[in-house]
Amino acid sequence: MKVISGKPESLTDKKYHYCPGCMHGVIHRLVAEVIDELGLREETVGVASVGCSVLSHNYFNLDMQEAAHGRAPAVATGIKRVLPDRTVFTYQGDGDLASIGSAEILHAAARGENITVIFVNNSCYGMTGGQMAPTTLPGQLTSTTPLGRDVKKEGYPLRMSEVLATMDATAYIARTSTHNAKHVMKTKKAILNAFKAQQQGQGFSMVEVLSTCPTNWKMKPVEALQWVENNMMKYFPLQEFKKVSGGDQ
């Protein structure tokens, strides 16, 4: 019997603490599958962020380092510069990367640090109770915008992929989604491209993955996936924004 799909070696046996239907689990698995396929399990260092994925070191069967809130790209910069032969990735949410960690991500990208960033965008602060995040859509209900995000008062969402794609030193920037199996597979391909860009020393790579928060959106898991498709994807178009040519990708 051949295993078509199952638990990759780069994941531990521990049960996730994530809410039912949270796509963090799928994205964890995709990262682990890519690391397994590239044969990098023994030489990869992951940097966890603060947010729901703060405990991701329990689930990745890799060397993991916890960073202060938003500082994962800075910690990853240090690790990569001291150990340039390792593959270094950060796993961050939108509150972590786009809000408190916006300085770190912008300057890591501007410096062209040869690291890979997995950016999970679920348009709210999941862990702390669904408050408005920089990625919250206009009009979206959250616990701090009970009447919907008012763009006159709270401004517009940040499109991080578009921002980083304008920088000279970035090598691979893509936005993908997890709302159905086809897009989950496309996400895996994008993560593979990002890790390959790092392997080839091309510079900074990031994959922004649209995800769900059924608990704070107050939706059933299947409804949350539909909400991603019908609302989030309109504001955050799925695209490969930047891909440095050269090499087998």
Residues of this chain, 219-238, that bind another protein according to CB under 8 A: 220-222, 225
Please report, in angstroms and rounded to a whole number, the separation of the first and last CA atoms in the chain: 31
Among 105, 120, 171, 184, binds another protein (CB under 8 A): 184
**How many C-beta atoms surround the C-beta of residue 37 within 10 A?**
13
Tell me if 6 contacts another protein by CB under 8 A. yes
H/E stretch holding 233: helix 233-235
Minimal distance in Å, beta carbon 185 to another protein? Answer: 7
Q: How far is the CB of 111 from another protein (least distance, A)?
A: 34
- Stretch of residues binding another protein (CB under 8 A), selected from 16-24, 72-80, 87-95, 232-240: 16-24
Which range in 61-69, 115-123, 135-143, 176-184 contacts another protein by CB under 8 A? Answer: 176-184
Interaction of residue 152 with another protein, rule CB under 8 A: no
Buried/exposed 140-169: b ≥16 CB within 10 Å, e otherwise: bbbeebeeebeeeebeebbbbbbbbbebee
Tell me the two tokens of residue 75: 């910690």
Tracing tokens 């949350």 back to the chain, one arrives at: 224
Query: In the complex, what is the shortest distance from the CB of residue 65 to another protein, in angstroms, rounded to a whole number?
Result: 23
Of 222, 212, 188, 231, nearest to 30 (Cα)?
188
Q: How far is the CB of 49 from another protein (least distance, A)?
A: 19
Under the binding rule (CB under 8 A), the answer on residue 24 touching another protein is: yes
Tokens 């260092």 belong to residue: 45
| 239 Rama class: left (phi>0) / alpha (psi -120 to 50) / beta | beta
Q: Which is nearer to another protein, 19 or 64 (CB)?
A: 19
- Rule CB under 8 A: is residue 45 a binding residue for another protein? no
Span from 38-46, 189-197, 215-223, 230-238 in contact with another protein (CB under 8 A): 215-223
User: Of the candidates 61, 55, 63, which has an alpha carbon nearest to the alpha carbon of residue 33?
Assistant: 61
**Chain positions contacting another protein, by CB under 8 A:** 1-7, 11, 15-16, 18-26, 28-29, 180-181, 184-185, 214, 220-222, 225
